[in-house]
């Protein structure tokens, strides 16, 4: 009798548990069945917010964001600022380049949910999977693989949802024993750098820099060198690495980016890196590239 009572009690608990899951699922409270987000629409319609809505839909379509459901006021502030103000502040950058800059900034800040959303947006505006992945790869030598690793996984997740086969086609263009020579050649062509032997205790660092940053990454296909240089500057600006950022401002100029384009690229990141780093980056651009 006790065994039967135990069986009936266990069965009743299982039935109640299943009923609870079903009820919660239909109520939208179960995390496994809850919507990824609610389609964003500005709460107040003005010229600015209509502009934001049009730009947002051009990039993301009807894709929702969780903040629209849980923190709708903040979603309104941020989306109106990014897509109503920032995207329309300058015509110096097209949507593809803005998408690459955004991907580099979000990877630098390890903002994986926003990164996944913007990878989908990048595909929507016409970037190829290789271009997207190479923008993430370009972050690796500057922020470190520890920070970039999960970003690569986030990109892979979006690619698989879009039936994009992995791995992507190989973009390596040099042999392993050519890395140092190729890296130094890139440094010389981009910055006019010369290389000399050193006896300093840290003499191993400069060859590593030439091989790794420039030999392994700047020589890859998928993105041209000019684009990689702008992304490197953006990564360093978002990372707050000001001495290196200042050096790469000059590099951007040497590769053909003008001052207005560089400032537009910084402005594109304003909502992601915040005002202090934005102002620091623009001050550095003004100092290094005076009118």
Q: What is the DSSP string of 256-278?
A: T--HHHHHHHHHHTHHHHHHHHH
- Distance between CA atoms of residues 153 and 213, nearest Å: 21
Tens-digit pLDDT profile for residues 180-234: 999 999 999 888 877 656 556 677 899 999 999 999 999 999 999 999 999 999 9
For residue 243, give every residue at least 6 positions away whose Cβ sits within 8 Å of its Cβ, in sequence order, or none. Answer: none
DSSP character at residue 86:
G
Q: Residue 217 in contact with residue 138, Cβ under 8 Å?
A: yes
CB 238 within 8 A of CB 272: yes
Domain 176-288 has CATH 1.10.1760.20: no
User: DSSP assignment, residue 289?
Assistant: S
pLDDT in tens, 36-72: 566 788 889 999 999 999 999 999 998 887 788 889 9
Alpha helix segments (H runs only) across the chain? 2-27, 47-60, 66-70, 72-79, 95-108, 112-124, 129-137, 140-143, 145-161, 179-191, 205-209, 225-239, 242-254, 259-268, 270-288
**Any idea which residue has 């091989």 for tokens?**
211
The whole-model pTM stands at: 0.85
Contact yes or no for 212/187 (Cβ under 8 A)? no
* Whether residue 5 has pLDDT greater than 70: no
Q: Which residues contact 13 (CB under 8 A, 6 or more apart)?
A: none
Domain locations along the chain = 38-88, 176-288
Contact 152, 132 (CB under 8 A): no
Q: Which residue has the higher pLDDT, 68 or 281?
A: 281
In sequence order, the β-bridge partners of residue 39 are: 64
Mean pLDDT score of the chain, rounded to an integer? 88
């Amino acid at each position: 009798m006790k065994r039967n009572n135990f069986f009936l009690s266990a069965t009743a608990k299982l039935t109640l548990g299943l009923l609870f899951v079903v009820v919660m699922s239909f109520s939208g409270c179960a995390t496994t069945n809850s919507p990824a987000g609610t389609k964003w629409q500005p709460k107040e319609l003005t010229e600015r917010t209509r502009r934001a809505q049009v730009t947002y839909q051009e990039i993301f379509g009807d894709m929702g964001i969780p903040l629209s459901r849980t923190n709708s006021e903040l979603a309104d502030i941020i989306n109106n600022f990014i897509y109503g103000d920032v995207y329309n502040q300058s015509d110096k950058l097209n949507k593809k380049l803005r998408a690459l800059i955004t991907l580099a900034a979000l990877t630098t800040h390890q903002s994986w949910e926003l990164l996944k959303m913007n990878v989908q947006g990048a595909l929507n505006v016409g970037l190829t999977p290789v271009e997207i992945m190479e923008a993430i790869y370009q972050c690796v030598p500057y922020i470190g693989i520890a920070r970039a690793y999960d970003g690569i996984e986030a990109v892979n997740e979006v690619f698989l949802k879009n039936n994009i086969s992995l791995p992507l086609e190989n973009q390596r263009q040099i042999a392993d024993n050519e890395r140092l020579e190729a890296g130094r050649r890139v440094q010389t062509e981009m910055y006019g750098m010369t290389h000399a032997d050193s006896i300093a205790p840290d003499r191993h660092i400069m060859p590593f820099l030439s091989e790794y940053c420039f030999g392994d990454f700047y020589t890859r296909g998928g993105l041209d060198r000019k684009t990689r240089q702008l992304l490197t500057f953006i990564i360093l600006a978002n990372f707050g690495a000001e001495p290196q950022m200042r050096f790469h401002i000059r590099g951007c100029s040497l590769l053909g980016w003008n001052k207005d384009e560089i400032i537009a690229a910084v402005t594109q990141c304003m909502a992601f890196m915040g005002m202090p780093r934005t102002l620091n980056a623009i001050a550095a651009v003004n100092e290094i590239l005076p009118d």
